[in-house]
Amino acid sequence: MIALTLAQIAHAVGGQLHTTEPDTDQSVVSGVVDTDSRLIEPGGIFIAKPGETTDGHLFVGAAVENGAALAIVEHVVDVPVSQIVVTDVVRALADLAREVVARVRAAGRLKIVGITGSNGKTTTKNLLARILQDEGETIAPRASFNNEVGAPLTMLRVTDATQYLVCEFGAAGPGAIAHLAGLVEPDVGVVLMVGLAHAGGFGGIEGTAKAKAELVQALRPGGIAVLNADDARVAAMASIAHERGLSVRRFGTVASADVRAEDIETDADGTRCTLIIDGARLPLRLRVLGAHHVWNAMAALTAAAALGVDPERALTRLETVELAERWRMQPLGNDRVRIINDAYNASPDSMAAALRTLAQITGPGQRTVAVLGAMSELGEYAGEEHDRIGELAVRLRIQRIVVIGSEARRMFLAAVGEGSWDDEAVFFETADEAFDYLLTELRDGDRVLVKSSNSAGLRFLGDRLGESFS
């Protein structure tokens, strides 16, 4: 974090400063800000966030042992460290992030990009960060730091030298993106797609579309909206941008796209296509598995172009990316048995895309195996969407369908009902049972997809399989 005095921080968060020594309100703090006491470094700021299972106030002492110079708390803790007492530490975290980013922006060349969408946020964030990091100091979220805690923590990593801040915005419900994006008012806002991910919290896909459009509403005056021209609901957000006097740049496969993809081909080594950018035809070889990542790459390229980055330089950097993120289309295992661990997140759209990728990258003499778990947060759509994925797996001629967990059982039943009768589809209650089965079932030439929402925990099963067949 940039250097601020204790008094400046207290003012920014609207809190009451309690210091260990008198007249220390002008002491300067500039260390790491975090809610995890284990990650605090000397001179850092510990945010004592109450949680569902524990309370951050219990770890103020541990944070001080690691060198914390300040704790932001909701009540004074009997630990020898300066403390700022606020009514809500999560709100205080957001207020501090707003203040820090505003100061850096006012003093330098900071440009901010916000990214949202039902799928692809983390991959696009990583691809864009790879493009920008060679242009200047770039801050981007760790993992999927995109909620009311993770997004401000990312913002607070900016320094006086930061040129680019890439923010990923998730949404727990209506208004969440408006709140997070409103902290920084991005210069560029990327909307990837509107799908059924987390649709249960928005009352359906139209509610999801309205929530994603909050990013366009939050862009600063003169900003640029980067929109997926292939998604009708996203493309319609151009009207919001135009009403606000914002510029619009589009990516996709339609003729109106500013960055357009043609001749998309996928194999086990990645994806190839031709990109048309400003009339020039440029080849792209993306090492990240899956044709759907071409849209994420186009989004990153369009955002980078909006920031003035030369497209050919940007393409060269994209082609160095081998893995979007751990547990996202992550190749494991060996050449004989290849495991693709994509079980960090799942929605109907990403599940379908992963299954299609599995079918596309499996060659003659090889066998497709899909290890599938539940998709969470679908609300009233959960049953029919699990049915649809089970049916799709059969229609794609996936040769072994392994479904795990009671919440995903309808996926198995739908596969059987669609025509998977000869033991192609099997069901297990637990990942341990499925692991034991797969150890004896998998054979040379198998290409195995492990896919589920984070809550199903199959990413750890994917790791175990990858290690077993390494």
Domain parsing of the chain, residue ranges: 4-87, 108-318, 330-468
Residues belonging to the binding site for ATP are: 117-123
pTM of the model: 0.89
Closest CA to 367 of 447, 450, 437: 447
Contact 16, 10 (CB under 8 A): yes
Pairing mode, strands 33-34 and 111-116:
unpaired
For residue 81, give every residue at least 6 positions away whose Cβ sits within 8 Å of its Cβ, in sequence order, or none. 20, 60, 63, 64, 68, 69, 70, 71
Q: Is 11 helix (H, G, I), strand (E, B) or coil?
A: helix
H-run or E-run covering 278: none
User: Which is it for the CA torsion 391, 395, 396, 402, positive or negative?
Assistant: positive
108-318 with 330-468: one CATH topology? no
What pLDDT is stored for residue 377 in this prediction?
81
Contact 97, 152 (CB under 8 A): yes
What pLDDT is stored for residue 375 in this prediction?
93
Residues belonging to the binding site are: 117-123
- Distinct helix (H) and strand (E) counts, the chain: 17, 22
Q: 108-318 maps to which CATH number? A: 3.40.1190.10
The partner residues of 349 in beta bridges, in order of sequence, read: none
- The number of C-alpha atoms within 13 Å of 7 and in the hemisphere containing its C-beta is 6
For residue 106, give every residue at least 6 positions away whose Cβ sits within 8 Å of its Cβ, in sequence order, or none. none
DSSP string, 232-256: HHHHTTHHHHHHTT-EEEEEESSTT
The partner residues of 449 in beta bridges, in order of sequence, read: 340, 370
User: Which is it for the CA torsion 360, 362, 363, 365, positive or negative?
Assistant: negative
Alpha helices in 245-371 (DSSP H): 293-306, 311-318, 348-361
Q: Could you give the C-alpha distances from 416 to 224, 309, 435, in angstroms and in order?
A: 48, 50, 21
Question: Environment class of residue 95 by beta-carbon count within 10 Å: exposed (0-12), middle (13-18) or buried (19+)?
Answer: buried
Kindly report the CATH class assigned to 4-87. alpha beta
Q: What count of other Cβ atoms lies within 10 Å of the Cβ of residue 89?
A: 25
Q: What count of other Cβ atoms lies within 10 Å of the Cβ of residue 421?
A: 11
Which CATH architecture fits 330-468?
Alpha-Beta Complex (3.90)
Contact 245, 238 (CB under 8 A): no
Contact 163, 200 (CB under 8 A): no
Share in percent of the chain as helix, strand, coil (round to 5): 40, 25, 40
Cα(182)–Cα(190) distance, rounded to whole angstroms?
Answer: 15
Contact 154, 1 (CB under 8 A): no
What pLDDT is stored for residue 201 in this prediction?
60
DSSP 88: -
Pairing mode, strands 259-267 and 247-252:
parallel
User: Which is it for the CA torsion 301, 302, 307, 310, positive or negative?
Assistant: positive
Q: What count of other Cβ atoms lies within 10 Å of the Cβ of residue 444?
A: 12
Mean pLDDT, 10 residues at a time, the chain of 470 residues: 96 95 85 95 96 91 96 96 97 98 94 95 95 97 89 96 96 90 98 75 80 97 97 97 97 96 91 94 92 95 97 95 84 92 90 94 93 90 94 95 96 88 86 96 95 92 94
